Chain A
Amino acid sequence: MVGVGFRREFAEEMISGEHIRPDFIEFAPENWMNIGGYWKKVLHRVVEKYPVLCHGLSLSIGSPEALDKSFLQYVKTFLREYNVQIYSEHLSYSKCDNAHLYDLLPIPFRMDAVKHIAGRIQQVQDYLQRPLVMEIVSYYTPVAAEMSEVDFINEVVKQSGCQLLLDVNNIYVNAFNHQYDAKAFIQQLPLSKVAYIHMAGHEQVAPDLIIDTHGEPIIDPVYDLFEWTIQHLQPVPVLLERDFNIPEMAELQGELTRLKNICHKQWKRKDELVA
């Protein structure tokens, strides 16, 4: 299953399915909750056509302060209403001092943060009655780290029982920005816990820095890393993220096809198991 992030900019093309035909779509519940009018009608048309996975933005699992219960209640209702098969979120924080920041801030890689986050993931999983799939985010600087990133992730997974969203582009970006070996990093992850994959493009803004923009096509080295990675995984859904600089649908479909071919080649008969 290879899907694409659903955006208003190409909603009609997705519904017509003429130039692009993903196996599923993904969107952020926050962008579609409590919406009526024109866009609600569009949402209903698109969810009739494609299976839906959701990728949240505002849960802020790494926040120092308490979880927002009323927000979770909306999420729960929304996931049920749209028959959402996977709810994923980010291993980061986007809210602090009771203020939302609408971006993914890096959590200090520390054992107390692990315990704190693991407890919160369990709270969310208990409340939503479904596993949380946590994405390893791209980051541009570590913050007051006391352990390695990969140990941090392993501990969070072990202590919380969550699943992982492996964004292959994020790993590529992080490996570049923090000068480590992407494959070695992936090999140390609890790969049996990977339930979902993201793929995207990025932008290099300095000789030593890549920003994870989702505004460019996927580059060849990220395809290569993807092909290498999935040989170590059970078949899971794969998503193409494109948030800015939206190209012609044929170009996006080209990326979907390329991803699909790689999945077929590496996962062969296992492929449709996840469909």
Chain B
Amino acid sequence: MNLLPDTYHIQQTFSTYCRTGEKVKLPGVAPHRLKHYRQLVFNMIHDTMENAFPIAFKHIPTAKWNKMVKEFFSKHACQSYQVWKLPLEFYTYAVAHNWEDTYSIPFLNDLLAFEWAEMEVYNMEDIPAPAYSLSGNWLDTPLVLNPEHRLLSFHYPVHLVAKPKDILKNKGVYFVLLFRHPETGHVEFTDLSPWLAFLTEQLTSGITVRDILEYAPQLNITDTGTLEQDTLAFLKHMQQLHFVLGFQQ
């Protein structure tokens, strides 16, 4: 190491100031100039979070949101060298530090997870789909799904309801499927019943629809006689949306 401890320490002091905004004394540095660094750095982080979490930003009172971003940036050592991935660190920080309680926003984790997933699925690297054919038996041929997807479960319907009041009133069990359209690259999302979420998960592991349907009674799914028909209708609809791609060859 060629760097002397003094220089090392000065660089640390400078960067710590940029992260926290807490006053420091540095040789040769004019405080009124220094403050621009804190502003530039913090604005960048603030903008990144606002763009990644537009709904959360809208719902959470500004003072609270600013406090969250400040805490995150000053206490967390940002690991991603790509700034677009930083919102994931914000979300995981919120979960790890129990922000739902700290900031009294019970649906916070769900909302951040949902907004991050939209961004992640939109940007993530291409995943080649296995070969598939367009003809097959819906019940007995394993299906090929669009691999560019995420299946999430929530306690609050953050993907369905806009107003925080309404979100809070509807606590329950929710599933949402997000996937990227292979041609346009747009992210689509669909609310799923527990049964359809189970179905989707099992299809991903290559199990046939017929075998999955056999599980229904064990899951306490009351088959009113149309379960098979409804399930197939869902899958055909998902094929039109380019989530079900086709049949294994």
Contact = CB atoms under 8 A, between A and B. Distances in A.
A103 B40 contact: yes
A93 B11 CA distance: 9
A92 to B, nearest CB: 11
Contacts of A101: 15, 18-19, 41, 78
B123 A39 contact: yes
B57 interface: no
B15 A140 contact: no
Interface string B1-35: 11110111011101110110000001111100110
A109 B4 CA distance: 13
Given A37-B180, A96-B11, A103 B16 contact: no
Interface stretch (B80-88, B101-109, B197-205, B222-230): B80-88
Contacts of B126: 36-37, 40
B63 interface: no
Contacts of A63: 11
Given A34-B82, A35-B125, A211-B36, A143 B15 contact: no
A100 interface: yes
Nearest to A144: B27
Interface in A108-151: 108, 110, 112-113, 115-116, 119, 140-145
B148 interface: yes
A192 interface: no
A31 B82 contact: yes
Query: In which size bucket is the chain A interface?
Result: 35 or more
B187 to A, nearest CB: 9
B29 A105 contact: no
A140 B33 contact: yes
A37 B16 CA distance: 36
A18 interface: no
Contacts of B4: 110, 112
B77 interface: yes
B45 A116 contact: no
A48 B51 CA distance: 30
Interface string A83-106: 000000000010011111111011
Interface of A: 30-31, 33-41, 57-58, 62-64, 68, 71, 93, 96-103, 105-108, 110, 112-113, 115-116, 119, 140-145, 177, 205, 209, 211
Interface of B: 1-4, 6-8, 10-12, 14-16, 18-19, 26-30, 33-34, 36-37, 40-41, 44-45, 48, 76-84, 86, 122-127, 148, 180, 184-186
